[in-house]
Structure 1
Amino acid sequence: MNSSTTEKIKIQKADKSRIDQVDFENLVFGNVFSDHMFECDYKDGSWQTPTIRPYGSITLSPAAKVFHYGQAVFEGMKAFKDEDGKVWLFRPDQNAKRINKSSVRLAIPEFPEEIFFEALTTLVKMDRDWVKSGEGNSLYIRPFVFATQAGVGASPSTEYKFMILMSPVRAYYAGDIQVEIAEHYSRSANGGVGAAKAAGNYAAQFFPTNLAREKGFQQIIWTDASNHEYLEEAGTMNVFFRVNDTLLTAPISDRILDGVTRKSVIALAKRDNIAVEERRVLVSEIVEASKNGSLKEIFGAGTAAVISPINAFSFQNTTHNLEKQDDSYAVKFKKELTDIQRNRCEDPFNWRFEVV
C-alpha cells in the first residue's frame, strides 16, 4: 500500500485490485464493491482530513447514535463508460445538493461540496476499470453520512462519518413490474422526512412491501397518509401516469423526494412537447382512467432502475392490467436518458460530467 494526497484528500492505494475475482456477468445489485472507498469524520465542530483508502470494514461503538436514533442519510448515483472508454457522471451537482438538504433535515452538518466533488472524481478515476461499458452496465455510487458519537442520550450526535462506496451493477429490475396501491401504510407524512433520503424512510417500507410481495406484487404505490386518496411514489421511485397523451406526477413536497431522474424525465417531456402536469393525482382518477381506457402507462423513475414500466396495479383487491403501447413513453424516456448518460447523443441540458 502506498500513500499520496490530492489538494485536499489523503490517498492510500490498495496493494492489489480485487477486480479479477468479480463475475461481471452475474452481479447481484449492490453486493460487490470496488477497490477503494472515501471517508471523512466530523468532530470538534469541523470535518477532518478526507481520506480514500482500500475498501474494508469500519469500527463503531455499539453506542453510536446512528444505531439508536437513526441519524443517517444517503444518495444514489451512477458512473457510465462509453464505447471510447470515457467515464461520465449524470447530474452529480444534484446529488451533492440533495445530500446536504437531507442532512439539514436530520440535524447533520452539511458536507463541503468542493470536497464531495474532489472525492467523487478521484475515487471514480482510481477505480475506473470497475466501470464497464455496454448496455445495462454502470458503477453505482453510494455517498452517505451517519452519526458516530457514542452515547444513548436522545440528542443529535456531535460526531459523524461521511463515506462514498462504489458497486458495479447491471439492470436493477428485469422486465415490467406489478404493484399494489397502498390503502393502509404510508411512506411519509406532512412535516416528516419524506423529501430527505433518510435511511429510516426505506426501513419503514420493507414490511408493507413484503406483504405486497406475498400477494405477488413487486412494489407498492404509496398514497398520502391522511386519507390514502392521492398517489405519491412507487416503491423507492417517483412515479408517472400517462393518461391519454398527458404525463401526470405528484408535485414535490415535504413528502415527495425531489428525484434526479424525475426532474430529468419532466425536462425531456417538455422538450419533446409532451404535456406534463405536476399535481396531486387521485387514486380514483387513475382507477377510472384504467376502466375507460385512457390510462396508457405507469412507470417508476429512479437512479437504480432509471425507468421501470408497470404493467399492472391492484387496488381494493382488483387488478388492472395495462396494455403495451407502441409509442411507449417509458421506452422513449429510458432511451433518451441512457443515450445522454452513456454519451451516445448530444447533451442539450449539460447534464453529463466527464471524469478525466
Structure 2
Amino acid sequence: MPMPDTAANSPDPRYAASARLSVAPMMDWTDRHCRVLHRLLAPHARLYTEMVHANAVVLGDRERLLGFDPVEQPVALQLGGSEPALLAQAARIGGEWGYAEINLNCGCPSDRVQAGRFGACLMREPALVAEGVAAMRAATPVPVTVKCRLGVDDDQDYERFLAFIDTVAAAGCATFVVHARNAWLQGLSPKENREVPPLRYEWAWQLKRDRPGLQVLVNGGIASPEAVEAQLAHADGVMLGRAAYHDPYLLHRLDVALYGGPLRDRAGLLRALRPYVEAQLAAGVALKHITRHVLGLFHGQPGGRAFRQVLSEGAHRDGAGWTLLEQALDATAQRRVAA
C-alpha cells in the first residue's frame, strides 16, 4: 500500500527532526505557558496543544484557544471531533494560524468525549476516522496525524488494530502516535486508563515492522532515558506525557542526549524564562498561571520541596512577580547547601 510522505508540506523545517521526542497533549496542562517552558528545556522536541474540539475552533475565541508564541514551534494542534466537514474547517483554521501539524485525537477515553462521539471510541469506526483525515488533508497543506490507542475495552486482536491503521493511512495519514494501551470506555476513569490497562509496546514495534513506510511514535509509561533509548530501537520517536510535566528537567536531558548541545543547570534554565515571565506579567497574566508549570523543575533534588513551597504559597498573591522565582531559587540553594 503506498504511503504518503511523513514530512510532506510541513511549514517548519524542524518538524521532521522533532518526531524523535515530543510532549503529549494534556488537558489543563500543556497550555501556552507550559509549552514555552518546554521549548526552553527542549529546543528540538515537538510540542502539542491541549485537545481542542473542532467546533470550538470554528466558533470560539481563536486567540484564547489557538494563540501561541512563535518560540513554541514546531507546535502541533490536537483536535477532537468526528464530523469530517467540521474537522476540515478546524484543520484549515489551524493551518492558517501557523501550526506545524494537525493531530486528531482517537485515544481519549473520558465519558464527556465518548458522549460527543470522539476520542478513543473512534477506534471502532475506522472508516469515519479515514473520512475525517481525508477531509482535513484536503483543507490544509499542514501534515495531518492521528493519536490512538491499541484498541478499546478487552480487544486483544492485533489484526484489528492494524486494520484501523491501514484504513486511516490509506486516507493520507502517515504518522501515528500510539499510546500502547487499550482504552476502557466503561469502568475506568481517565486517570485509571493511563495506568491500569497493560502496556503492550510490542504492538507499536510490530506496526513499524509491518508498515515501515509509516512514522510510528510510541506513548505511554515512558519516564527515563533508558526507556526512551529502548523505544527508539524499534520506533521512530517517543512521546512523553506526565513524566515530562512532573520532572521537566528530564525533558532537557533527553533533548541534549538525542540532539546534542550543552546540558544546562536548572537555575540557569529558569532564569532564561525571565523575559517571557515579565512580558506576560506586563500583559496582565497572573504569575500563578506560569509558575504552576515549573513546580517540578527541581524534582528529586535537594531543595526541591522548598522551591515548590515558595512558589505555591506566593504565586497567587497580588503583585507577585519575578522576585518570587528568585526567592524560590534561593530557598532551593540554601537547602542544597544544608544537605
- TM class by shorter chain equals under 0.3
Which structure shows the bigger proportion of residues in strand conformation? Answer: 1
Relative to the length of structure 2, the TM-score reads 0.25
Which structure shows the bigger proportion of residues in helix conformation? Answer: 2
